[in-house]
Amino acid sequence: MLDKFNRKITYLRVSVTDRCNLRCEYCMPAEGIKLIAHKDILSFDEIVNVCRTAAYHGVNKIRITGGEPLVRKGIVDLVRSISAIEGVDDIGMTTNGILLPKFANELKNAGLMRVNISLDTLDPDEYRKITRGGEITSVIQGIVAAQKVGLEPIKINSVVFDNHDNSMKDALKKFAKDMNLQIRFITQMHLDTGEFSIVEGGTGGDCSICNSIRLTANGFIKPCLFSDDQYSVRELGA
């Protein structure tokens, strides 16, 4: 599948829910976001159909994200269905890791290959503050569980804040090295102002080589987080 700029689209990011079990300060307000009505959230059949169509047109890599993908009921079944699609040879998930101790093994058995786990600090109190109540021990246990079942490589996504001190960045780098994890740092973005940051150690930010599209939880295909272009897969009857 080529887009209008002749770029080959091989990577689809699928948001399976807008719900989350955390409330990270940089991601959503304390009271949470206005949630998408249940009837507007794509069913598993609809998501799998879109993935199948995408794979038919050349997508071979799918990443499941959210919100928090692991709070969507039946997520393991969805992973199993997506991993069975012909042409999909890489399936990953971006998660906050809180529910990984519970799901890592089932996800691996269902065909998930790799996980990106978000972790911005190693300090339990700071983690509780940033995520508005999250327990870092669950994330660490999630990382260990993912390693144990072979969900690899594990990449840590770490947001660097406007006021971030380099000592935490260094501590996270050491943690990643000691635990044999990859790590990449994302500068905090202010989406309300349209501010965009390039991921250190990532491939984003260069539009000329971008090969990915996104499917939102309510069924819109978007070429880019920073574009207003979108179309509804339901209206297209996908």
**Of the candidate residues 26, 44, 196, 220, the single one contacting ligand SAM (CB under 6 A):** 26
Decide: 64 and 91 in contact? Cβ < 8 Å. Answer: yes
**Of the candidate residues 12, 14, 16, 27, the single one contacting ligand SF4 (CB under 6 A):** 27
Q: 170-199: which residues touch ligand SAM (CB under 6 A)?
A: 186, 188-189, 191
**Of the candidate residues 17, 65, 81, 121, the single one contacting ligand SAM (CB under 6 A):** 65
Q: In what order do the strands lie in the sheet with 114-118?
A: 199-200, 182-187, 154-160, 114-118, 90-95, 61-65, 11-15, 212-215, 220-222, 231-232
Cα-Cα-Cα-Cα dihedral sign, residues 92, 131, 194, 236: positive
Which one of the spans 23-31, 104-112, 121-129, 210-218 is the region binding ligand SF4 (CB under 6 A)?
Answer: 23-31
24 is a contact residue toward ligand SF4 (CB under 6 A) = yes
Q: 88-107: which residues touch ligand SF4 (CB under 6 A)?
A: 96
- Sequence length of the chain is 238
DSSP result, 191-220:
GGGT---PEETS-TT-GGG--EEEE-TTSE
H or E element, residue 92: strand 90-95
Over its C-alpha atoms, the chain yields an Rg (Å, rounded) of 17
Tokens describing residue 171: 């501590």
Q: Residue 214's beta-bridge partner residues?
A: 13, 222
Binding mask 58-87 for ligand SF4 (x = CB under 6 A): --------xxx-------------------
Least separation in angstroms between CB 174 and ligand SF4: 23
What single letter denotes the amino acid at residue 94? T
Give the one entry of ligand SF4, ligand SAM, none that residue 157 binds, where binding means its C-beta sits below a cut-off of 5 to 8 angstroms depending on kind: ligand SAM
Give the residue among 37, 35, 32, 4 at the shortest CA–CA distance from 18.
35
Give the one entry of ligand SAM, ligand SF4, none that residue 159 binds, where binding means its C-beta sits below a cut-off of 5 to 8 angstroms depending on kind: ligand SAM
Q: 69-98: which residues touch ligand SAM (CB under 6 A)?
A: 94-96
147 is a contact residue toward ligand SAM (CB under 6 A) = no
Binding site for ligand SAM (CB under 6 A): 20, 26-27, 65-66, 68, 94-96, 118, 157, 159, 186, 188-189, 191
Binding site for ligand SF4 (CB under 6 A): 20, 22-24, 27-28, 66-68, 96, 118
